[in-house]
Amino acid sequence: MSAVIIDGKARAALLTADVASRVAARTRAGKSQPGLAVVLVGDNTASHIYVRNKRATTERVGMRSQAFDLPATVTQDALLTLIDRLNGDAGIHGILVQLPLPRHIDPDAVNERIDPRKDVDGFTPYNIGRLVQKRPLLRPCTPAGCMLLIRETGEQLVGMHAVVIGQSNIVGRPMALELLMARCTITLCHSATRDLPRLVGDADIVVAAVGRLAFVQGAWIKPGAIVIDVGINRTPEGKLRGDVDFDSARARAGWITPVPGGVGPMTIAMLLSNTLTAAELQDAP
């Protein structure tokens, strides 16, 4: 067996094109151009790369991207004041504060300050609460993108056993909620989970989001399973690789996402989709 590669880059291109078409139709109808404010604090190299890609793609689909690059020494109060100003700016429909933040800034305080209608990352308690209640509005980008890739397989998801490895608020927990909403049976694993290989071996769907290079071994994978690799790690040679040992897992899985070219492009595409959704929500009186 050799797994079918789930092409996240191609799926993201389709979603991005659809967003661009809807943005163009929106502006032709005389409605406001969706605006995304991206706040970057400090000089983290990876964050700068991510933000540059997000800003470029935002402009490419016809949205307005507004950059706020702040020094690592910025105070928490100053950052919260900026968020308050963006919350009140009618030309800004989405606010994204790039993580990680410097250690002296509380990310929870920053997250909770963002207007839930402008929370295009989908991380505020309000939007996570909506997801818990099966009434999502703005969904966390990476889990929502993973669900689109899982559905690309065409498999009937109802009743499947899904194992999510990693319990972060950004991926693991909302991913479990997304899969639960699809009526899968969920096992959410973490560093204290016992007998992880056995649990993975029982899974019809595996989502790896642990942040450790080649952590999930191919021998763990149930033959025919759907494997979604969220990890982005660098090898000693400087290449990007995932949390799953790709070659050995591909020999057993039915479908698998590559790294790069899998989940990563979907995260940015979902950010654009959320920004457009936020603009539409804010159209309402």
DSSP per-residue letters across 231-278: --EE-TTS-EE-SB-HHHHHTT-SEE--SSSSHHHHHHHHHHHHHHHH
CA gap 98, 78 in Å, rounded? 16
CA gap 158, 52 in Å, rounded? 38
Structure tokens at 268: 């940015």
Cα–Cα distance list, 18 to 14, 110, 151, 272 (Å): 6, 31, 18, 10
User: Which residues have a Cβ under 8 Å from the Cβ of 178 and sit 6 or more positions away?
Assistant: 131, 139, 143, 144, 146, 147
165 close to 216: Cβ distance less than 8 angstroms: yes
**Phi then psi dihedrals of residue 129, to 5 deg:** -60, -40
Segment holding 67, helix H or strand E: strand 64-70
Residue labelled with tokens 């990476």 = 142
CA nearest neighbour of 13 among 179, 209, 148, 120: 148
Cα–Cα distance list, 272 to 57, 74, 239 (Å): 8, 27, 27
94 close to 36: Cβ distance less than 8 angstroms: yes
Active site residues: 54, 98, 121
Structure tokens at 197: 């290989």
